[in-house]
A and B are shown apart, each in its own frame.
Chain A
Amino acid sequence: MRDAITVRDLTRRFGDFTAVDAVSFAVRAGEIFGFLGPNGAGKTTTIRMLTGLLAPSSGSATVAGLDVGTRADAVREVIGYMSQKFSLYGDLTVAENIELFAGLYGVTGARYDDRRAWVLAMAGLEDRTDRLTAELPLGWKQRLALGCAVLHEPAVLFLDEPTSGVDPLARRRFWDLIDGLSERGTTVLVSTHYMEEAEYCHRLALMNRGRLIALDSPSGLRGSLASAGSLRGSSDVGDMGDVGVRSSLEDVFVELVRREGGAVVG
């Protein structure tokens, strides 16, 4: 399968500070790819470069075959973006938000009717089109935000901590939707520091201090560290296989960051 995202020696400097330091990886089409790291690890800067919002200092990256350095405008047309800080307007209704984003993405005519119906069905909001967005429970808002981000059927979807703060049931419903998108070929790149979200990814890239320090499947990451016997403080993991995966994945995360000399504070 063709790679939907390729990143080669991608670097971004701000003055003396190197936010992203020669990062290379590739994401397969239809893959759910997790991007982990503490605050200041360089996740956001990397995503800004991949979404064409920030020019790389050196190195290169392509998204859906388009070079982000030279074709940033074209890149923005084939991607969708959903942030934890919702870009939805709380004082607009569900239907008005969809209409607004359809307008912004140039989804019109019969395609608009199709996509609108699809988004409402996907988010389970068919009988709530006239509700003010601000009044929706968090889980519904997140599904609506996702719907608005994929109105134009983007090839690559960027998610920034999409389900932080919601309960396990709402989270599972959300990720069922994401999996459905992935199954139909949408590539999904998730940036998060929640292990609950990392669980749902096919592969995880761990960043710290601007560098990529690990890249593997969740079970691969857990296995590599468990076999090295370096797991600490994971009392509730035990040897029950996948039980307590949340804790153990977090242990992996914390351990790898510590080995690298800790996170950047500030």
Chain B
Amino acid sequence: MDGSDIGLWGVPLAMLAGAIRVSTPFIFVSLGECLTERSGRINLGLEGTLMMGAMSAYGTALLSGSPWLGVLVAAFVGLLLGALHAGLCQLPKVNDIATGIGLMLFGTGLAFFLGKPYIQPKAPNLGALDLGGWSSIPQVQQALQVNPLFIVGILLAFALAWALKNTRWGLIVRLAGESVDAALAIGASVGRVRLLATAVGGAFAGIGGAFLSLYYPGSWNEGLSSGQGLMAVALVIFARWDPIRCLWASLLFGAAGAISPALQSVGVTQGYYLFSAAPYVLTLALMIATCSPARSLRGAPGELGAVK
């Protein structure tokens, strides 16, 4: 193979490719969580939503032959799960952190239960756009095969940032998150705002799940997600509830997630499992670095008690 021997350059290149591929679910889940938290509610159950989204997208793509229909169905399933979380949290005395843990286990279990028949068959893939045609190096071409959902995710991040800042709707969401009293004063229903924000946030997470099962890794099995949904929650804290920073942080996490396979591809197999823990260690390290016991975080929505 001509020009394919690029030696250790393969590692950063594979990490770039990983940043593009692995980050997409992070982008969607973190944007969803960002929207939910800006409205003053925390949803820890997005891990379950991610799995349900992955399963329903795969099942739909398999039965209908259309992967994009699968993405739509995944978004709808995520919407329902988000609405369920919001509805439960609206009941008096129900704790949103605990409900999130409950829905995480419920969503994961339900995805395994309903998804059993889809483990073997192969569903159609979402496909990718070739943005690396200008290069003659196959690794570069491969790295720049970009799924359309990645681009949608980037656009979504900018759109969400703009909408939160400039639209009436965004103002009401932020108001519900900053101060319930202020939101009530302008006549907004805090409950309804949070219901919508949590449901739409769930829909984003569902799309993230669809990416997992329909593009990368591109199959449905029970080990598909291992904490991406939860890491995205931590990532939102690190990104200080800013959609654009969520995007950068997602890319960083994608690159960290790609370390282990990238090293393996150049022949470093020692400590494979240690490197596979890199994203979790990175998440934890970033949380330790950004959190402080003394003051609440800059940018944290005022009504969000849980992350302090």
Question: Is the pairing of A and B real?
Answer: no
Chain A residues near B (Cβ < 8 Å): none
Chain B residues near A (Cβ < 8 Å): none
